[in-house]
Amino acid sequence: MNHSVDRARTSQISDRNRRGFLQDLGLGFGSVALASLLQRDQIASADFTVIAPRAKNVIWLFMIGGASHLETFDPKPALNQFAGKTIDETPHGNVLKSPFLENERVVAFDPNNGFIRNEIYPTQVEFRPRGQSGIEMSDWFPHLGTCADDMCVIRSMWTEDSNHGAQLQFHTGRHRVDGFFPTIGSWATYGLGSLNDNLPQFVVLGTPVADCCGGMECHRANYLGPQFDGVPLDIDSETPLPYAAPPVGVYREEQSGEFELLRQLNQMTAQQFPNDESLRARVRSYELAFRMQTAVPGVVRVEDETQATHRMYGLDQPETKTFGRQMLTARRLVEQGVRFVQVYHGSNGGAGQWDSHAGLKDSHSKLCRQTDQPIAALLQDLKQRGLLAETLVVWATEFGRTPGAQSSNGRDHHPYGFSVWMAGGGIRGGITHGATDELGFHAVENRHYVTDIHATVLHQLGLDPRKLAVEGRRRLEKDFGQVIREILA
Amino acid sequence: MSRSILLLAVSIFCTSTVRADVDYETDIKPLFEEKCAACHGVLKQEAGLRLDAGSLVRQGGDQGSVLEVDDPASSVLIERVTTTDLGQRMPPDGEGTPLTDAQVQLVMNWIRQGATSPVDEVIIASPAQHWAYQPPVKPSLPSGDSLAGSQNPIDSLLRAKWDAMELVPTPIADPLTLLRRIHLDVTGLPPTLADQNRFLSDASSESWNAIVVGLLDDPAYGEKWARHWMDVWRYSDWDGYKQEVRGSQRHIWHWRDWIVESLNSDKGYDQMAREMLAADEIAPDDMDGLRATGFLVRNYHTSNRDIWLDATVEHTAKAFFGMTIACARCHDHKYDPIAQRDYYAMRAIFEPHRVRTERLPGEANLQLRGLPRAYDADLDVATYLYRRGNEKDQDKEHPIAPGVPDIISVAFDVEPIALTNQAAHPFLRDYIEAEEIARAESELAAAKQRLEKASDPRNAQARQSVVVAEFRLKSLELRWAATKAKIEGRSTASQLAIDAAGTERSSKYQAALLDVLQKRASLEEAKTSTESDEAKKKALVQTREKELAGAERTLVDSSVETLTTDDHFSPLGESYPNTSSGRRLAFAQWITHRDNPLTARVAVNHIWLRYFGEPLVENVFDFGLRSRRPLHHDLLDWLAVELMENDWSMKHLHRLILTSHAYRQSTSSDGISAADRLKNETIDPDNKWLWRGNVRRLDAEIVRDSVLAIGGSLDRTMGGEDIDFVEGETTPRRSLYFRHAYEKQMPMLVIFDAANPTDCYRRSESIIPQQALALANSPLSRDQSRQLAKRLSDEAVDDADFIELAFRTALGRPVRPDESSACMSFLGGQPKLLESLDSLELIDGTAKTLVPASEDPAQRARESLIHVLLNHNDFVTLR
């Protein structure tokens, strides 16, 4: 509550202070901008222990609706072997007695979804080893397979919510009913600050999570304050950032004249009140805003890229065009120093397209096709530009899907075991970590709750999650998570 | 006092992170409080050791001294916080994070310097001695002339400290600064030019006092201050997925209107609190009063009762008496004298209550209109303690009775409350019967009209429709008569019930008959249809046959039903218990009891915060043991008692504050000598002693409302249904009337730190580029600039005059010469630029304005000038 990095503070008068201020005003602000200045204050005051960072930026890909681990990154031959049998009829019936089942927290009972399904449903796609490392991935990821040696697949995730509130939970670490909390992207930017003062530091691409499942709270900062909220960019629009352009009919030169007068007038007021730090910060915020107006449209202008790059990301094909453009933009954003780019895939205004209760084969194969080539292109492109080493790419989803069938050709929600992967940013490539049981039911080896991913991301950025706290806002043990040290390069 | 001066002076000159000199008050005490006090403090003394006061640290524990001044590193204290043995390390694993190296260094330095602490450090022997648990008592006011002849007790109390500290307060701010400050603080709207001229012509104290009274009488006061209290009371419009309500309730805006009205009529703060918690028990039939229970309704949570009640307990305690009782949900409170049982005892107060929506005149559909309110639904429901807060592990052996923490020694007596018939049977409200009968009558009239217009007067369906409508009306009338007779205990009740039941059965029979006639006709229609696809036609005929068979079965059943003679008829509406537990009223009376030491202090602190930018008690929702005795304890207590002694009149408190010198002080220290300024800054750089005013930023709503007000567009209509937040740029109503809930928030307000609907006891004041973009680029500020420019151009004789008027209107202050010349040169140069628009680069904007830019380059430049002023730092700033 008392936290406000920029609540108007006053300081003692000193000649140096006054001189420095007037110089600032006279010189404009060059490379020194508000956000990062405030950030530096913040770091000093919060005393974060900074570990040597391995990554500078994060690209966080989130598949909305619950991508099946059993058809993507966690091959389970037993499902084909026992197809049609009930779980009890297999030698693995004990999964239904596991204490892990108690981790599920049902609060909003849904009579249709969110059940353990008993009749084993065979995997809907072949798996094969990829790359030198031989990580097995499904045939729906032919392009991504070529990047296997850069990827670390984590096959032992679990979460609590068996409904789509798990989307929120994946970003805040808290169950939907516990309320709203700062998200991983906001913590990262809160801890680190900006590398480019002309762009927002935490950018959101793609259509966000729907209000059923956490909505904008999946990329907001809650009590950290609006300066750490993820800023959605509508990259297909003329005005990708809200209020980033004046209304119709304003001229560039006209606006420049206005900004110049504003600068002069504020400077005069500043001379009158040399100790008013909030005035100083506000003047800078206008400088930054003015630059953002041109920087943001510039950074999303993928037309600047070569035809070869467009093809690489699949911008030339209808299926991959949308997500490809987002991936390409994500690369351009981190290249420009944006700290955290969160990309949503699969919005349908509700639970999400990945939510395949029926027709899983059709929907998942299509969704994989939409994302496979663009994601592979992103990893390859980052690598060839030497950016992968310092950019951590995370692919995640809110939960996996049941080994048993729902409505004959789909799978239900499955919070007990599922997969995510990471690449770049100091993560060991070409490995898998953790495992589910024979049926892909429970994470049984190296189990990880969602905040372990957060802890690992923050650790790679050089932050100690335990230092990220705000006075008066208690964080629970589970909020911090554990760094997954086994996967660090 | 001289000691603190010295310490403050020291702290200014030593700014490196690890200093040689350590200040106990600022470096050591807070650290021990955070890391150690839960187990080594007034509440618990593990190992007989207390670390919550310097002398107690020096005293040591059962094992003797914990300090070695000659060799700090070998102190037990240092050993225990630095050891790598997790079984030994303090704070214990899981109870707190270990001290950082820098913190350890600080403690060592403090020990090395002799582990000194102020001799007058307050040590309490038991939690009950905590300052906030003592009843507030009015301090005797210092004698002698207060500042500038002010008799205001606020000034007398502050003046005594300034004198003792040798601080020189800043003088009263200039009239226009003051006028803008008070207008925006009290009504949230800027002063007009006329207001300014009036005050400039007479800036006397009498004139000021008249302004204070006038503004507090302005209904805009209620709107502005309602928003503050809506923050504290967690106002939220309904949230939900599509049409399903998940949190709060539809139509909760009634509660918002009740807050506005209550503030404007200066209803006592105590009475407001009582009504919000228990209006249904105080005046069960008072529909206006019931709106107050929106405070409880707001906590409604569709999927989980625990979350619902947890929020109710947590936030009622935080909002009204500054207690963080939610910490005791899983275990005894670590810092305050609150047992886990106390948490559940408070939960038991709310356990019986639920929410429902009352039908209001004119609309039967509760989705469209209605009054959400709280009521006790289940008087027998038990409350159990959740072991370790786990809802799956309840202590069912020991039901917990409603109760309040012992630390506040005020009686809590629960008396069940008998409710009125109307409260138990809300459908008895006159208008409901009248509306229902009227509806049945109009259905009958419509049926008769259809029969008259029917081509064939023997049309069986039309005739039967009339019969059905007649029966329905009759049945309704009889059900009403029977129901009222029963509730009122009249002797005719049983016969009326038999009649009503019989008529209802006949009515159903007639309706079934009509249905058969209709189904027959549609079957006939299917059979004779011109559908060429035989299969389709056959399927349709089959469907219709099935439907007819069903209708015929219903007809047979209902005709058999008519043979029965019992008195069961369907109820006219939902009925509820005719008794309320009285728990909430008892609780509300406990909260607002004159001897409750917390309530008035918490209220006063909230009001003070909104005028001075800083509260008197730092953490506005936690007055527990971690809340240090405030610097202005005397002032807090004086105001708290004054509030209670004056029937909890908030307007009285506002008047006191607004007429004080303290409120009117200049924020700038220009009015005092350079030497005094330096001394002030040295002694009290953070202005904790209030020797000057604090510069503040306007709240989100006030930023938006001011833009509209200045442009002359603000629609001052008060109250009513929440407006869709997407209309924020186009509907010129005050901001508090727009929907504000999870996923339903106006972006412009969010950007300026609008209240988080789930929890906002105090707003933050961020400064971010998105705020600049919003004011610079929103159509709203563009439109209002153009409108104001036009208005001022009609008045101004020339550019200089225009500039003066523009500054006065937009910023509420005169233009300074340097500003005027900058603006003059802008108005000279900009039109030249705008003369040849074709040669300029049009920005790719998409948002549309409502007011077009002027065609005249000179006027367009003036519009730009106004727009610049709406973006000026001083527009969003209160000096």
- Residue A283 and residue B873: Cβ atoms within 8 Å? yes
Q: Residue B22's pLDDT band (boundaries 50, 70, 90)?
A: confident
The whole-number pLDDT of residue B5 equals: 33
**The two three-digit tokens of residue A374, written as one number:** 């663009």
Cβ atoms of B331 and B355 within 8 Å: the answer is no
The whole-number pLDDT of residue B141 equals: 87
Cβ atoms of B782 and B776 within 8 Å: the answer is no
pLDDT tens per residue, range B374-384: 999 999 999 99
State whether residue A472 sits within 8 Å of chain B by CB: yes
Given the DSSP bridges, would you call strands A202-205 and B417-418 parallel, antiparallel or unpaired? unpaired
Given the DSSP bridges, would you call strands A391-397 and A418-423 parallel, antiparallel or unpaired? antiparallel
- Residue B695 and residue A251: Cβ atoms within 8 Å? no
- Residue A108 and residue B753: Cβ atoms within 8 Å? no
Q: Name the residue facing B761 among A1, A177, A255 (closest C-beta).
A: A1
Q: Residue A406's pLDDT band (boundaries 50, 70, 90)?
A: very high
Q: Is the pLDDT of residue B853 over 60?
A: yes
B515-533 mean pLDDT: 90
- What is the C-alpha separation between B323 and B326, in angstroms, rounded? 8
- What is the C-alpha separation between A219 and A184, in angstroms, rounded? 8
Please tell me which residue of chain A has the smallest CA distance to B9.
Answer: A12
* Closest among A1, A18, A51 to A275, alpha carbons compared: A18
Of chain B, the percentage scoring pLDDT greater than 70 comes to 97
Residue pointed to by tokens 């936290």: A3
Q: Residue A75's pLDDT band (boundaries 50, 70, 90)?
A: very high
* Closest among B873, B714, B698, B723 to B783, alpha carbons compared: B714
- Residue B843 and residue A466: Cβ atoms within 8 Å? no
B206-225 mean pLDDT: 98
A436-444 mean pLDDT: 97
Q: Residue B20's pLDDT band (boundaries 50, 70, 90)?
A: low
- Residue A12 and residue B685: Cβ atoms within 8 Å? yes
Q: Is the pLDDT of residue A41 over 70?
A: no
Kindly report the average pLDDT of chain A as a whole number: 87
The whole-number pLDDT of residue B531 equals: 83
State whether residue A252 sits within 8 Å of chain B by CB: yes
Q: How far is B388 from chain A (nearest CA, A)?
A: 14
- What is the C-alpha separation between B258 and B736, in angstroms, rounded? 13
- Residue B765 and residue A7: Cβ atoms within 8 Å? yes
Q: Residue A14's pLDDT band (boundaries 50, 70, 90)?
A: very low
Q: Is the pLDDT of residue B3 over 70?
A: no
Of the listed ranges A120-134, B307-321, B740-754, the one predicted with least confidence: B740-754
Q: Which residues of B touch A104 (CB under 8 A)?
A: none
* Closest among A100, A118, A183 to A450, alpha carbons compared: A183
pLDDT tens per residue, range B674-732: 999 999 989 998 899 999 999 999 999 999 999 999 999 999 999 999 999 999 999 99
Q: Which residues of B touch A226 (CB under 8 A)?
A: 750-751, 753, 766, 768, 770
Q: Residue B626's pLDDT band (boundaries 50, 70, 90)?
A: confident
* Closest among B693, B635, B625 to B664, alpha carbons compared: B693
**The two three-digit tokens of residue A175, written as one number:** 């169950």
The whole-number pLDDT of residue B147 equals: 54
Of the listed ranges A110-119, B256-265, B481-490, the one predicted with least confidence: A110-119
Cβ atoms of B611 and B150 within 8 Å: the answer is no
pLDDT tens per residue, range A194-223: 788 888 899 999 999 988 898 889 999 988
Residue pointed to by tokens 């209220």: B603
pLDDT tens per residue, range A135-144: 999 999 999 9
Kindly report the average pLDDT of chain B as a whole number: 92
**The two three-digit tokens of residue B790, written as one number:** 């036009």
The whole-number pLDDT of residue B122 equals: 85
**The two three-digit tokens of residue B654, written as one number:** 């506002």
Residue pointed to by tokens 């991935």: A137
Residue pointed to by tokens 């911008």: A315
- What is the C-alpha separation between B44 and B522, in angstroms, rounded? 82
A264-287 mean pLDDT: 88
- Residue A285 and residue B771: Cβ atoms within 8 Å? yes
* Closest among B690, B695, B874 to B170, alpha carbons compared: B690
Q: Name the residue facing B766 among A6, A237, A265 (closest C-beta).
A: A6
The whole-number pLDDT of residue B520 equals: 93
- Residue B743 and residue A225: Cβ atoms within 8 Å? no
Cis upstream peptide for B91 (omega within 30°): yes
Residue pointed to by tokens 């008396």: B415
Q: Which residue has the higher pLDDT, B395 or A20?
A: B395
Q: Residue B651's pLDDT band (boundaries 50, 70, 90)?
A: very high
- What is the C-alpha separation between A217 and B357, in angstroms, rounded? 29
| Sequence-separated (6 or more) residues with CB below 8 Å from residue B259 | B222, B226, B229, B230, B233, B235, B272
**How far, in Å, are A37, A60, A447, A462, B335 from residue A458 at the CA level?**
21, 13, 19, 6, 31
The whole-number pLDDT of residue B19 equals: 45
User: Which of B54-68, B176-190, B459-473 shows the highest mean pLDDT?
Assistant: B176-190
B142-165 mean pLDDT: 81
- Residue A1 and residue B868: Cβ atoms within 8 Å? no
Q: Looking at this predicted complex, what is its ipTM?
A: 0.88
pLDDT tens per residue, range B334-372: 889 999 999 999 999 999 999 999 999 999 999 999 999
- Give the helix/strand (H/E) hosting B30: helix B29-35
- What is the C-alpha separation between B459 and B280, in angstroms, rounded? 53
User: Which of A214-228, A282-296, B496-510, B759-773 shows the highest mean pLDDT?
Assistant: B496-510
The whole-number pLDDT of residue B459 equals: 83
Cβ atoms of A377 and A315 within 8 Å: the answer is no
Q: Name the residue facing A243 among B778, B853, B872 (closest C-beta).
A: B778
Q: Is the pLDDT of residue B658 over 80?
A: yes
**How far, in Å, are A229, B68, B229, B510, B762 from residue A1 at the CA level?**
17, 38, 16, 66, 7
Q: How many CB pairs under 8 A join A and B?
A: 242
Q: Name the residue facing A246 among B307, B777, B829 (closest C-beta).
A: B777
The whole-number pLDDT of residue A114 equals: 81
User: Which amino acid appears at position B786 of this protein?
Assistant: R
pLDDT tens per residue, range B785-816: 999 999 999 999 999 999 999 999 999 999 99
